[in-house]
């Protein structure tokens, strides 16, 4: 076990390289965790110094608004093990998500192709229950390894215990506070079964029986055409969730927006509608606020267009939310976690 004295603590570190928006905020203390056994000592250190804690993975789904007055714990737990006979894949929480998708494909273990090119780490994937093009992560989660900081123990949760929902999980809720993901185990398919239920993907493929490489490449093409590369233009992908509304509300909206599409939701009386469509209707593409901007080709994507600070990006998102609420009486929820 590690002691607090042996921890690699850094002081007053700029988090610009550690968040995909590329905003510059200062962490009072910072510690990279490369071994899960470090976690008890890291949290002991934070308690002894009375420091608030922020756990950071790939930093691809959060907006840092202000300097952080506590300890940032950067999860860098690596390693991927693929069991070809069982289809089980275990990945450390610090593994890059897209790199994990590639490793699974190279081992002929399938299911994640539709989730290619999603930025972030393997450990962040279940927190958000990432999804794209007709596939959600929860379909493949066998179990998630966690360190329970409240009880000081390591544990493993099965898929049901993770309480997955649309872009949501136990780890985002109050009763999941204190659970730090250390690894994930996924149950993948040895036999290839394409999921091309998503219309945009089906159109891009032009065939009803694509192989796994064709699906992977089509997903990458669509994402690249719609979403800017965070390494070139700071962003966190889709900033808002697609709202779920009642059928009655949808029918009312259609009177103003006859082209508004709708997708099935979990309840028969509800549908999911694209937030981007609402924002497009209000002319948000390309609009700016200081160094922050809405991307020219996708109204759901906020970007750091020129040394934006977190406050500017946050204020822009608030203006967008207000305009949708005022016009359509829909309160958009953020997909990105905002840390004040």
- Catalytic option among 113, 281, 312, 335: 335
Q: What is the mean pLDDT of residues 194-204?
A: 90
- Please tell me the predicted confidence (pLDDT) of residue 5: 66
Task: Give DSSP secondary structure letters for 275-326.
Answer: HHHHHHHTT-TT-EETTEEE-TT-TTEEEE-SS--HHHHHHHHHHHHHHHHH
Q: What is the DSSP secondary structure assignment for residue 260, as one 8-state letter? A: -
Distance, CA of 17 to CA of 65 (rounded, Å): 15
Is 83 strand, coil or helix? strand
Q: What is the pLDDT of residues 115-140, one digit of tens each?
A: 999 989 999 999 999 999 999 999 99
Band of the pLDDT at 181, cuts 50, 70, 90? Answer: very high
Cα separation values, 55 from 29, 89, 249, 337, Å = 12, 24, 38, 12
Instruction: Give percent above pLDDT 70 in the chain.
Output: 99
Q: What is the mean pLDDT of residues 301-327?
A: 97
Active site residue 335: yes
Select from 40, 46, 55, 63 the least CA-distant residue to 94: 55
Distance, CA of 17 to CA of 156 (rounded, Å): 31
E strand map for the chain: 9-14, 26-33, 53-56, 62-64, 68-75, 80-83, 88-92, 131-132, 135-136, 141-148, 153-158, 179-187, 234-238, 244-246, 263-264, 270-272, 288-289, 292-294, 301-304, 337-339
Band of the pLDDT at 3, cuts 50, 70, 90? Answer: low
- Please tell me the predicted confidence (pLDDT) of residue 1: 55
Q: What is the mean pLDDT of residues 307-325?
A: 97
- Catalytic option among 60, 238, 281, 317: 238
In the predicted structure, residue 231 carries a pLDDT above the cut 90: no
Band of the pLDDT at 4, cuts 50, 70, 90? Answer: low
Contact 25, 14 (CB under 8 A): yes
> Sheet harboring 68-75: ordered strands across?
9-14, 26-33, 68-75, 53-56
Active site residue 238: yes
Contact 31, 46 (CB under 8 A): no
- Catalytic option among 167, 223, 281, 321: 167
Q: What is the mean pLDDT of residues 48-71?
A: 95
* Single pTM value for the model: 0.89
Active site residue 203: no
- Please tell me the predicted confidence (pLDDT) of residue 2: 63
Residue 198's Cβ-side half-sphere holds a number of Cα atoms within 13 Å equal to 18
Give the residues across from 237 on adjacent strands: none
Average pLDDT, the chain: 94
């Amino acid at each position: 076990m590690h002691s607090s004295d042996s921890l690699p603590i850094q002081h007053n570190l700029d988090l610009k390289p550690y968040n995909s928006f590329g905003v510059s905020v200062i962490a009072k203390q910072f510690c990279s965790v490369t071994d899960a056994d470090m976690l008890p000592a890291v949290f002991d250190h934070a308690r002894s110094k009375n420091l608030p804690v922020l756990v950071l993975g790939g930093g691809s789904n959060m907006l840092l608004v202000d300097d952080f007055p506590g300890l940032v714990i950067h999860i860098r737990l690596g390693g991927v093990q693929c069991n070809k006979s069982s289809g089980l894949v275990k990945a450390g929480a610090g593994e890059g998500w897209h790199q994990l998708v590639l490793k699974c494909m190279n081992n002929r273990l399938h299911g994640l192709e539709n989730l290619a090119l999603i930025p972030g780490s393997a450990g962040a994937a279940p927190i958000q229950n990432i999804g794209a093009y007709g596939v959600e992560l929860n379909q493949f989660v066998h179990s998630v390894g966690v360190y329970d900081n409240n009880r000081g123990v390591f544990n493993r949760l099965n898929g049901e215990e993770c309480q997955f929902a649309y872009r949501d999980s136990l780890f985002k809720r109050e009763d999941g506070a204190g659970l730090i993901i250390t690894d994930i185990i996924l149950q993948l398919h040895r036999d290839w079964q394409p999921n091309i239920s998503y219309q945009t993907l089906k159109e891009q493929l032009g065939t009803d029986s694509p192989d796994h490489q064709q699906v992977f490449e089509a997903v990458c093409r669509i994402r690249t055409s719609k979403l800017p590369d965070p390494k070139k233009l700071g962003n966190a992908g889709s900033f808002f969730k697609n709202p779920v509304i009642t059928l009655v509300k949808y029918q009312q909206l259609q009177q103003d927006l006859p082209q508004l599409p709708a997708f099935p939701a979990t309840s028969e009386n509800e549908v999911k509608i694209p937030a981007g469509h609402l924002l497009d209707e209000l002319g948000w593409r390309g609009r700016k606020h200081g160094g922050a901007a809405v991307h020219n080709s996708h109204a759901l994507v906020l970007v750091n267009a020129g040394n934006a600070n977190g406050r500017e990006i946050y204020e822009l998102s608030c203006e967008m939310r207000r305009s949708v609420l005022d016009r359509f009486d829909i309160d958009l929820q953020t997909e990105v976690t905002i840390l004040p």
